[in-house]
Structure 1
Amino acid sequence: MIEKMKAVCIAAQSSHKDELLTDLRDLGILHIAEKSAADPRFLEEFSALFRVMQELKEYKAKEEEGVLSEEEFDRLYADTSAALAKKAELREKLTGLLLEEERLAPWGNFDPQEVKELSDTVPLRFYLMDKKELSALSQKEGIRYIRLRPVGKSEAVAVVGHPEKPLRAFEFPLPQKGLAQVQREAAECRKGLEECESTLKEAAGHLESFRQRLLKVQNAAEYSSADASLGRDSGIVWVTGFIPQTETEKFSAAAQSHGWAWMIDDADENDADVPTKIRYNKVTALIRPLFAILGTVPGYKEYDISFWFLAFFALFFAMIIGDAGYGALFLIGTIILNVRMKKLTNVTLLLYLLSATTIVWGALTGTWFGLEGAMKVPFLKALVIPGFANYPEYFDVSSTAAQNNVMKFCFSIGVIQLALACVMNIRRKICGKDLGWIADVGWLLSICALYFMVLFLVIGESVNLAAVACAIGAGFLLVVLFGGMSPDKSFAQGLKAGLGNAFTAFLNTISAFGNVMSYIRLFAVGMASLAIAQSFNGMAAGFGGPLVIVGIAIMVIGHALNIVMGFLSVVVHGVRLNLLEFSGQLGMEWSGIAYEPFREIKKEK
């Protein structure tokens, strides 16, 4: 559930500003409104520290037992930063030297300075060409040249003087350094890189010290941001923000204890600055990792749909992946991850749930790595629902009937989810004494009628079209008449607003038809995944005898690719149905601000 918030304003004398900020940070419940940016110096220091820390994580070293002192860390950080800068410089220089060495090696070891001194008396220019061009060169009058040792597959010549016309050949520019000097400098670079690596490997043993400094800088940045957010006037400083309603007593006690002047009131639901704090239970907490990845936060006055999101997402995931064999692999991988982590987390619990639902759906449809032979196993065959079978010939069911059943199931899921959104809106508006709930009844009526329209158009199911049309028309009429109602409007004002949006309501009704149709993607993507698995199985079956290893490799690569594509489909389709179709029917925009109280950071973010 989304916790109720209280808006607060706290004031103190300017001379007690630092005490105010420190006490608020220790209290750790105030979300500062209109937070200002932190001092750029801290942000730059944080970025530099983070970059160095990421570089050091590449080195395997034992962690230190204790944390370095401030002075010791400053010296270590300076040495590490210098080593990283020198390492980058030496790498760039070594790359250039190696390219130069590769260019010079075919010409052998010579002193460029000696060649330049000779050229002062006898101008020389060096060229690379093929034998055909060399033969043509020998026939040109007025050109004198010296044939040198071949360089690779090309002929090398030294032309005396300056040709009047450009030669059809690649001119070799004289280097600044000879091959021997280039090789010496490359060796020096390698030695310098080894010294840098040694310094960095030693520094990698102090990652905990880097983490502690990083936390210190983060806290300093947060403090500077809070400081910049204070209002100031006539010797008074103040800060406004929000606290959870459940923390009101704790806040009041702290305010009285520290002698603050303060004011508290209910947060305005229409205030865009009110943060959202979601209280998860043991079940809904499973969806938190996905919300964290998506970065989605509902608005303060919107719904907490964590439970419904989790339930439908698990079902969508199972139907899109669609293979019990893949689900078994996910389950094995989750068990291994759980053993390594040595504890249950929301991530592993979510993976267990998704693995289980995938296995169940795959078993019900008879899909095990896309293998038709799985249906020859009595136990696996007994798990299948004949009407949903991907191999219906084993159950005396036509393929058309089985596909129609699955499509109807997809549309049924869609209408249930969209109808649920309507019911949630009706309930909230009735509790809020908002007459607009009648418009949501209209949407509920229209969506249910559109469901039957979809069944008629897609799978040819017999329906009473007249009744469907009447239901859609009645629903549209209710939406137009009551869609503009709200508690702050009179009936006449709401009616006028609804009639003014009649064309928009018409377009939204068409969109609702598309929303119901959209759930066919669960069937389409699941069938595509099955077809890909079957294709790779068929390709692998063609390799027998000594080539069986090739067949196994094709199966492994093919199924791995199919799983990856399945994950992408879950993001594109499974998440979409929750974030767009379902949330859109609820009127959610996911434009909320996450509740982030001003407090000391004790864990690296």
Structure 2
Amino acid sequence: MKKAYIIVQAHNGRSMLRDLRKAGLLHIDTQQVRNDRIEGLEKTYDQISQIRSAIADLQDKKKPKEQLTLSDEVFAEVAERYQGLLESRKKLEEQISHDKIQIEALSAWGDFDPDQVRTLAMQGIKLYFYTITKKDLEKLDASIQYLPLAPVGSLEAIATVGSELPSEVSATRFYLPEYGLGFLQKRFASDQKQLSHIVQNLKHGAEYLDAFALQLKKIEMAMRFERVGESLQATEELTWICGYLPEMEVEKFTSLAASHQWAYLLDDVSEEDTPPTLVKYAKGLGIIKPVFDILGTVPGYRENDISTWFLLFFTLFFAMIIGDAGYGLIFLGAAVGLHAKQKKATTLVMLIYVLSIATLVWGSLTGTWFGSKAILVAFPFLQNLVIPSISNYPELFGLTAVDAQNQVMKFCFIIGTVQLSLACIMNIMHKIPKKDLSFVADIGWLIDILALYFIVLQLVVGEPADVMLIFSIVGIGFLLVVSFGSQAPGVPFLKGFLSGLGGFFTTFLNTISAFSNIMSYIRLFAVGMASVAIAQSFNSMASGMLSGWALPAGILILVIGHSLNLVMGLLSVVVHGVRLNLLEFSGQLGMEWTGIAYEPFAQTVEEN
């Protein structure tokens, strides 16, 4: 990245921004500023978004309508009309809801005209209405004048004349409504009819959905323009702006500046700057982009690009966690279906292809097809694909379950050791050209990880190891980390050494953490085994129901059970598969994923 400054005369500031937006080259950091123009745009955006959502919610997704193109002037009239419809619908819905409550409350009292009661009150005859139990009614003082009314449900209804009931009487006051039951029922029916008419009018707005979407994009672009405009710095005569530019775009930028007669300055990015990150994927590796987009993770500008390794390990983790070749076939079918529907292989489709094939391969190697041993027995050619030592059905190959599980766990620890060691090697290769002596500390971490691997094997798998020798090697790595961990270019060796010595206890805890990081890769084995066990449980539940009249129920159990298992497997990939890449591996690399994605200030839609 290059840091770019553009300087123009003060009165040309906004025109410069419009030309810069058309070019779409410069990334400009903007603050969440507020002004009247931005607040007005936000209000308009919310209104249009609400109208579009209201129209879209009423549509039949299977029968899309042909879309109309509108000018900005015509769109303003259309938006105003549909905004009025929305407001009318809201008022009607509120009135219908209120009237419904009133009708339910009045239905037990019957239809009467409240105006007549109010007329009596004006003439000096005030009536107060109550519901009361028969028992409490009998206890009323004889001096209280009341008129008996028709019962309301299981309660007696009365109207006192001239005064309210004393507070000690257990009765419920009924307050006179504004309108009578008959009037409310008629208004309720009329409002419902009118609401239905408004809903139909809103539904007819389907042909404007694309026009609404286009206007939303225009408003988004206008809001960003205003925010960038707030980033302009100015004196009485000059105004300027600063942004970041990929080095490969420098020639385009200089040509643009020359053609518009802008004064500019290009400078290298300093350590104090926080430039955006432009991730360039190697050919074939861009399929991992949907995962990063979903996670919302961007590497820092000065951090390693691990997209290649992330894709490789994520694919392996996905395959081991899902762990079933039958599920791999389902994912493969989904990829083919999406490919056919979209008529092209998008990055998401290609990612699903890769993950499904990897799952199919791993499931074949472990002999897992929908968690069913019967399938493996019924099709002998599938057994030829199995590696017996990691099979989920080792008894078919003359092995014990413990031996097979130990091999899979060992494989998980090997993966963990390789990935964490790779992080150390990447750090070493990154630091050596910078003459950063802290690369020696990464050598120390590499030594510790390789040595701790054998401790893990002894504790979990039971493989013998020379513990004293291993701890001696770990001690050497630990000393290298303490001595060189705080070294950096320009830092005197003694100062770095003393700083590292000051973090002695933290380094000790991090060494223990390195051991636990290797151990954490056992989750690949545990989650994979859990998935197989769940599949086997549902197969067992359905096995006695796959014939006769119970066949539909048995099929339903299989479908629901395996669908649930698939969903749980996908959640496990997010929780465990992604975690191993973003925490254990990235943590060893020292990555914090605090990057800002490169998003150039650009014109996203054509303006009328």
Say yes or no: TM over 0.5.
Answer: yes
Following superposition, the deviation at residue 166 of structure 1 comes to 5.3
Cα distance, 1:136–1:209 mapped onto 2, change above 3 Å: closer
Q: Which runs of 5+ in 1 are unaligned?
A: none
Q: Which amino acid aligns with 2:554?
A: G
Q: Which amino acid aligns with 1:303?
A: N
Other-structure match for 1:585: 588
Q: Which amino acid aligns with 2:8?
A: A
- In structure 1, how many angstroms separate the alpha carbons of the residues matched to 2:226 and 2:599? 16
- In structure 2, how many angstroms separate the alpha carbons of the residues matched to 1:170 and 1:357? 71
Deviations 1:8-30, CA, capped at 9 Å, x for gaps:
11111113223321221122111
Other-structure match for 1:371: 372
Other-structure match for 2:334: 333
1:420 partnered with 2:422: yes
Residue range with higher mean Cα deviation, 28-37 or 207-216: 28-37
User: For 1:497, what is the secondary structure of its paired residue?
Assistant: helix
Residue range with higher mean Cα deviation, 99-108 or 282-291: 99-108
User: For 1:390, what is the secondary structure of its paired residue?
Assistant: coil
Aligned pairs for 1:503-542 (under 5 A) are 503-542=505-544
Cα distance, 1:518–1:198 mapped onto 2, change above 3 Å: same
Following superposition, the deviation at residue 59 of structure 1 comes to 3.3
1:318 partnered with 2:350: no
User: For 2:57, what is the secondary structure of its paired residue?
Assistant: coil
After superposing on structure 2, the runs of 4+ consecutive aligned residues of structure 1 that deviate more than 6 Å are 116-120
- In structure 2, how many angstroms separate the alpha carbons of the residues matched to 1:603 and 1:505? 56
- In structure 2, how many angstroms separate the alpha carbons of the residues matched to 1:123 and 1:508? 82
Deviations 1:557-591, CA, capped at 9 Å, x for gaps:
22222222222211111111111100000010001
1:561 partnered with 2:564: yes
Deviations 1:74-105, CA, capped at 9 Å, x for gaps:
11111111211221221122122223333333
Alignment counterpart, residue 449 of structure 2, candidates 435, 444, 447: 447
- In structure 2, how many angstroms separate the alpha carbons of the residues matched to 1:235 and 1:474? 64
- In structure 2, how many angstroms separate the alpha carbons of the residues matched to 1:210 and 1:100? 39
Residue range with higher mean Cα deviation, 198-207 or 241-250: 198-207
Other-structure match for 2:214: 212
Other-structure match for 2:150: 148
1:20 partnered with 2:16: yes
User: For 1:8, what is the secondary structure of its paired residue?
Assistant: strand
Following superposition, the deviation at residue 64 of structure 1 comes to 5.3
- In structure 1, how many angstroms separate the alpha carbons of the residues matched to 2:500 and 2:578? 32
1:79 partnered with 2:81: yes
Q: Which amino acid aligns with 2:22?
A: D
| Structure 1 length-normalised TM | 0.91
Query: Retained in 2: the 8 A contact 1:36–1:229?
Result: no
Deviations 1:165-201, CA, capped at 9 Å, x for gaps:
7566766554433222121111222122123223322
- In structure 2, how many angstroms separate the alpha carbons of the residues matched to 1:159 and 1:22? 75
Q: Which amino acid aligns with 2:311?
A: L
Query: Retained in 2: the 8 A contact 1:242–1:275?
Result: yes
Residue range with higher mean Cα deviation, 470-479 or 11-20: 11-20
Q: Which amino acid aligns with 1:550?
A: A
Following superposition, the deviation at residue 229 of structure 1 comes to 0.9
Cα distance, 1:400–1:228 mapped onto 2, change above 3 Å: same
Aligned pairs for 1:126-275 (under 5 A) are 126-127=130-131, 134=134, 142=142, 146=148, 148=150, 151=153, 154-158=154-158, 173-268=175-270, 270-275=271-276
User: For 1:32, what is the secondary structure of its paired residue?
Assistant: coil
| Structure 2 length-normalised TM | 0.91
Cα distance, 1:92–1:25 mapped onto 2, change above 3 Å: same
Cα distance, 1:97–1:603 mapped onto 2, change above 3 Å: farther
Query: Retained in 1: the 8 A contact 2:130–2:171?
Result: no
Q: Which amino acid aligns with 2:19?
A: D
Query: Retained in 1: the 8 A contact 2:436–2:489?
Result: yes
Q: Which amino acid aligns with 2:293?
A: A
Query: Retained in 1: the 8 A contact 2:148–2:157?
Result: yes
Q: Which runs of 5+ in 2 are unaligned?
A: none
1:53 partnered with 2:52: yes
Aligned pairs for 1:333-412 (under 5 A) are 333-377=334-378, 378-412=380-414
- In structure 2, how many angstroms separate the alpha carbons of the residues matched to 1:526 and 1:406? 10
Alignment counterpart, residue 595 of structure 1, candidates 594, 598, 601: 598
Deviations 1:50-73, CA, capped at 9 Å, x for gaps:
232222222338655542222221
Query: Retained in 1: the 8 A contact 2:132–2:170?
Result: no
- In structure 2, how many angstroms separate the alpha carbons of the residues matched to 1:124 and 1:235? 79
User: For 2:7, what is the secondary structure of its paired residue?
Assistant: strand
User: For 1:594, what is the secondary structure of its paired residue?
Assistant: coil
Deviations 1:227-251, CA, capped at 9 Å, x for gaps:
2111101401111111111111111
Residue range with higher mean Cα deviation, 176-185 or 345-354: 176-185
Cα distance, 1:303–1:117 mapped onto 2, change above 3 Å: same
User: For 1:601, what is the secondary structure of its paired residue?
Assistant: coil
Deviations 1:198-217, CA, capped at 9 Å, x for gaps:
33223331122223322222
- In structure 2, how many angstroms separate the alpha carbons of the residues matched to 1:113 and 1:322? 76
User: For 1:9, what is the secondary structure of its paired residue?
Assistant: strand
Identity %: 45
- In structure 2, how many angstroms separate the alpha carbons of the residues matched to 1:574 and 1:390? 21
- In structure 2, how many angstroms separate the alpha carbons of the residues matched to 1:246 and 1:272? 19
User: For 1:489, what is the secondary structure of its paired residue?
Assistant: coil
Following superposition, the deviation at residue 257 of structure 1 comes to 2.1
Residue range with higher mean Cα deviation, 207-216 or 513-522: 207-216
- In structure 2, how many angstroms separate the alpha carbons of the residues matched to 1:36 and 1:271? 22
